[in-house]
Chain A
Amino acid sequence: MTMLLDLALVAWLLALAIHVARARDDQGAIIAFIAFGLLLGLGWTRLSAIDVAMTEAAIGGGVTGMLLLRAEARLRQRSSQPQTPKRTTKAAAAIACTVVAAGLALAVLSFPSPAPTLAPAAAAALDSTGLGNPVTAVLLAYRALDTLLEKVVLLLALLGVWSLAPDQLWGGAPELRQTVAPPPFVYLGRILPPFGVLIAVYMCWVGADAPGGTFQAGTVLAAMWLLIMLASLRPAPETRRTTLRLLLVGGPVLFFAVGFLGFAVADGFLSYPEGAAKPIIVGIEAALTVSIALTLGLLVAGPSSRAPAP
């Protein structure tokens, strides 16, 4: 039975992928791509990778889809004739993808069995962190440096998006919606956010011991914020505002501060003091969640499109 379900999932994924590649209108392709992300998340749950599944659904399906839809809407406003890639470009892309896929298949089939894994080592070292979720331990303890630098990458992406604003609008507020939002949407914008915030807080909190964590929680928060902005219940903030900037860098700064504190009270950079690792990690995660939510929301909102108020 599960075998049958898995096969159906794989067939569905393949069909969606082909549809995305072949679709003629961009909007249809993007919507199929969002569905693809959600289904892929389902695939990850079948492989028992719940954390990956949640991230895939939130980022691959949610945020990426939203960014693509906004880009497509912008493009449609700007140019009358849509640019479709040439046949040769498409053929080259198809050949390149086939070669890479064949290479991957060859390599994956040649993996030693059982595959070497660090999962037992990651689980064995859990005790010294006090955490229950090995994924969180990998992200915030064993490989905290990667996570820390990734957060800086997100901020840089935002800085890059902001830098696309015209000079006179620098520091102003982005605009998500020009027209009036339809009433049902406004209603949703009023009803959903409290629940969304609750879910985000829960996800962030359980991340220490169960699947969940900062990225997923941050994405949910960002979605709620975007909903409010899209429903025109609250305007997007001016990007130069100090409170906004402080919240944006708050997570990474706290992470760095704890990292450097490690020199004084523990084993060096990004090492946590014995016994206090878990509360510190939960604290970092909370601050990171806020920073990620703001970063993702502002990435979707785009560069500022109104001059800053004098």
Chain B
Amino acid sequence: MTPLAPASVHLATPGGYLLVLAVTLPVLGVLAMLVVAPRHARQVALVTMAAGLVTAIAIVAELIRTGTALTYVVGGWQPPLGIALRADGLSATMIAMTAMVITATGLFARGLYALGPKAQDGRAPTTFWGLLLATWSALNAVFVGEDLFNLYVALELLTFAAVPLVCLDGRAETVAAALRYLMFALLGSLLYLLGTGLLYGSYGTLDIQMLSRLSEGGPALSVALALMIVGLLAKAALFPLHLWLPPAHAGAPAAASAVLSALVIKAPVFLILRLVLDIAPPHAAILAGQILAVLGASSILFCSVMALRQARLKLMIAYSTVAQIGYLFIVFPLAAGNEAQAPWETIAWTGGALQLVSHAFAKAAMFLAAGVIAEAFGHDRIADLGGFGRVLPISAAAFGLAGLSLMGIPPSGGFIAKCLLLTAAVLNGHPWLAATILAGGLLAAGYVFRVVDRALATPAIALVAQKPIPRRLELVALALALAAMLLGFVPLEPFGFLQLGRSGAMAGVAP
């Protein structure tokens, strides 16, 4: 009856329980926070963060030790009836990146909220801690999900954690931005869910591994994938569906912006990658890859120019996010692979993953630095920030170093990423994509230098901070920027860890 063999393709591995912990620990923190007194919310968050960080490290260590993907079958119910969780090298990289950025943001927020001790147990901080942890769970659930409906639930969790973050400060314009974000996100969820329903109707399973073994395509598969990818694009804010992102990310409190820009939009990108790579039949994957690359290239060019034109620092960083996301989509035709080489063995695969991770660190660093600047001077108009580097040297340094990675100047993760992508574009005969990568780098240099120039300027009236900023707030941003730079010491070749758990590249490639 069913076109599929009932035998399952998932075998639980001993370390699989770590994936359950990665998904559940942060939401357990949220539940605890709802019960304890508001003044303890912060402690709960910090304890949960420590536990989550340890879990992420354990997952990476377990992957390196065993050399294969971690798998867990929830409740012992085998797919397609039940749900499996699985982390391969790419997923584990995402989990580790998420843990680091969330922990850094948490430390930043703790310091920032400590500046106003009276409001520390109030509405915004208490809500922030809960939403931050919920975001974390949702992201981990997206990265380890193997079941399309389970992934839908993860996306919903992500939406409902991320949207209130946008309007935490309660101003009317941020509430409007949050509502617009909600509209786009819900539209995306709806399209994704429609596609999921169609896939279940056609194949009787939602397990990605099982779906990936289907050879025959068909109109239902094409329609389903088209709906799901468009829905995810709306969530990922790729041009021309990016309209919601700049006001939302620029209006959110600094710590929230960092998480939204660095991590939240990466989840739909990750899912698009899985749909195209694992489920789409080869010819459809090529077509989808080309369309996505065109949109990605437009995103890079259009939104980089928009970033150049912004008067406000946070809006500029937000537009830069849409531009940098574009690079992740030009990876599709570059990492298409062939008979001799699977997609995950190409340099573009490593380049794309590096771009994703280094952008996460760099963008979080930028938003946190911008948050310090706005806190110190009470505004973030770039034109009026002349000489801010003298008042806040560490923040200026963090911004500049993060900027290096966005531009693609060595030594930085962004440099290696763009270098690998450029090489792949030239080798595979995509001159237009190569030109776009170069032009995007130049434009990024334009908007980063605009700010660096202000930092180093000597205005007639020296800029003074309205309130003292503790050093450790600034250091968090610097640490993230340094992490983005350190990624620049990854060798310029396909990276073994990212291939772990991909078929054909199982054992023996541990770094």
Contacts from A to B (Cβ < 8 Å): 100, 103-104, 106-108, 110-112, 114-118, 121-122, 125, 141-146, 149-150, 152-153, 155-157, 159-160, 162-167, 170-171, 240, 242, 245-246, 248-249, 252-253, 256, 259, 262-263, 266-272
B219 with A269: CB separation less than 8 A? no
Contact partners of B160 in chain A: CB under 8 A? 153, 156-157, 160
Contact A159:B131 (CB < 8 A) given known A103-B227, A115-B204: yes
Cβ distance B241 to chain A, nearest Cβ, rounded Å: 12
Chain B 42-79 interface mask (CB, 8 Å, partner A; 1/0) = 00000000000000000000000000000011111100
B219 to chain A, nearest CB (A): 5
Min Cβ gap B332→A in Å is: 22
Q: Using a CB-CB cutoff of 8 Å, which residues 320-356 of chain B contact chain A?
A: none
Interface string of B198-232 (1 = CB under 8 A from A): 10011111000000000000111001101100000
Across the A-B interface, the 8 shortest Cβ-Cβ residue pairs: A116-B204, A160-B164, A170-B123, A267-B76, A107-B220, A116-B2, A107-B223, A270-B75
Binds A, one of B150-158, B242-250, B272-280, B400-408: B150-158
Instruction: Give Cα distance in the complex from A175 to B81, angstroms.
Output: 44
CA distance A149 to B218 in the complex (A): 32
Q: Are B227 and A116 in contact (CB under 8 A)?
A: no
| Residues on A with beta carbons closer than 8 Å to the beta carbon of B205 | 116, 118
Find chain B residues with CB under 8 A from A246 CB: 35
Cβ contact within 8 Å between A269 and B223:
no
Check: B9 CB closer than 8 A to any chain A CB.
Answer: no
Contact between B20 and A269, CB atoms less than 8 A apart: yes
Collect the chain B residues with CB atoms within 8 Å of residue A150's CB. Answer: 153, 156
| A12–B126 CA distance with the chains assembled, in angstroms | 48
Q: Are A155 and B83 in contact (CB under 8 A)?
A: no
Contact A149 B204 (CB under 8 A): no
Q: Give the size of the chain B interface in residues (CB under 8 angstroms).
A: 66
B28 interface residue per 8 A CB criterion:
yes
User: A104-B194, A141-B75, A263-B17 are contacts. A248–B34 as well, Cβ < 8 Å?
Assistant: yes
Question: A165–B123 contact, CB under 8 A?
Answer: yes
**Which of these, A112, A156, A262, contacts B202 with CB under 8 Å?**
A112
- Bound-complex Cα distance A247 to B282 (A): 51
Q: Cα distance A252–B29 when bound, in Å?
A: 12
Instruction: Please name the residue on chain B nearest to A162 by beta carbon.
Output: B127
How far, in whole Å, are A141 and B83 apart by their CA atoms in the complex? 10
Q: Given known contacts A107-B223, A141-B75, A149-B157, is B167 in contact with A164 (CB within 8 Å)? A: yes
> Cα distance A271–B130 when bound, in Å?
27
Given the known A-B contacts A100-B227, A150-B156, A155-B34, are A114 and B194 also in contact in the complex, defined by CB atoms under 8 Å? Answer: no
Q: A110-B220, A152-B157, A248-B34 are in contact. Are A142 and B81 (CB under 8 A)?
A: yes
Q: Are B127 and A159 in contact (CB under 8 A)?
A: yes
- Do A103 and B154 have beta carbons less than 8 Å apart? no
CB distance B156 to A153 under 8 Å?
Answer: yes
Nearest CB of B to A293, in Å: 16
Known A103-B223, A106-B219, A152-B134; contact A164-B175, beta-carbon cutoff 8 A: yes
Contact B74 A270 (CB under 8 A): yes
Task: State A268–B16 Cα separation when bound (angstroms).
Answer: 10
Q: A28–B119 Cα gap in the complex (Å)?
A: 43
Nearest chain A residue, comparing its CB with the CB of B119? A167
Q: Which residues of A contact B220 (CB under 8 A)?
A: 107-108, 110-111
Nearest B residue to A116 via CB reads B204
Neighbour of A166 across the interface among B157, B170, B224, CB < 8 A: B170
B75 and A268: CB pair below 8 A?
Answer: yes
Is B153 a contact of A144 with CB atoms below 8 Å? no
Interface check B141, CB cutoff 8 A: yes
- B218–A110 CB distance below 8 A: yes
Q: Is B284 an interface residue (CB 8 A)?
A: no
Contacts of A115 in B (CB 8 A): 201-202, 204
Bound CA span A21–B210, Å: 40
Is B122 an interface position by the 8 A CB rule? yes
Which of B74, B134, B191, B194 has the most CB atoms of chain A within a 10 A radius of its CB?
B74
Of B3, B20, B35, B80, the residue contacting A118 (CB under 8 A) is: B80
CB <8 Å contact, A144 and B31: no
Complex contact B82–A142 (CB within 8 A)? yes
Asked if B139 lies at the interface with its beta carbon under 8 angstroms from chain A, I say: no
Q: How far is the CA of A165 from the CA of B80 in the complex (A)?
A: 43
Q: Which residues of B contact A263 (CB under 8 A)?
A: 17
Q: Which A residues touch B76, using CB under 8 A?
A: 266-268, 271
Q: In the bound complex, do residue A146 and residue B1 qualify as a contact, i.e. CB atoms below 8 Å apart?
A: no
Nearest chain B CB to A167 CB, angstrom units: 5
A168 to B163, CA, bound (A): 22
Min CB gap B58→A, angstroms = 16
Bound Cα distance A162, B33 (Å): 14
Find out whether the CB atom of A253 lies under 8 angstroms from the CB atom of B4. no
